[in-house]
Amino acid sequence: MTPQDYLDFAARYMGAIQSGDTDVVRACYAPDAKLWHNTDGIEQTVEENMKLLGWMIRYIPVRNYRIVRREALADGFVQQHVLEATLPGGEPWTMDACAVVRIKDGVIVRLDEYIDSAQFKALLDSRHKP
């Protein structure tokens, strides 16, 4: 893949996440892809990641990924973004994140995501507010 191919892939992948198109998101992953988040240090499987994404789509159905920076790498791309959403209680919420994505044979084989743990905790805590 060329650097532009990686950037085009990133745009399609993130567009699918933003729109909630889980079929396209799933098709972007190799079946044995590993997805890691700094908040727990655990490698997720594709199925575990899809479950988390499904929850996010249901819980915050209107969301925007504001891309701060995206660059092609020799084997994928790196992206810095801010996830912006309105929580079910009506309050605005944002989360800063950075993803390092490795692609092989046209699909993601590894994704390392670094998110602000305090902002993620605020999302989780919002589930328990009246």
What distance separates the 2 farthest-apart alpha carbons in the chain?
Answer: 49
Tell me what pLDDT residue 116 has: 83
Per-residue confidence of the chain (130 residues) as pLDDT tens digits?
Answer: 999 999 999 999 999 999 999 999 999 999 999 999 998 899 999 999 999 999 889 888 889 999 999 999 999 999 999 999 998 888 898 999 999 999 999 999 999 999 987 777 767 677 765 5
State which CATH number among 3.90.1150.10, 3.40.50.720, 3.10.450.50, 3.10.350.10 fits the domain covering 3-128. Answer: 3.10.450.50
What is the pTM (predicted TM-score) of this model? 0.89
Q: What is the pLDDT of residue 129?
A: 57
Using a 10 angstrom Cβ sphere, with 0-12 exposed, 13-18 middle and 19 or more buried, the burial of residue 10 is buried
Burial 45-66 (b: 16+ CB within 10 A, else e): ebeebbeebeebbeebeebebe
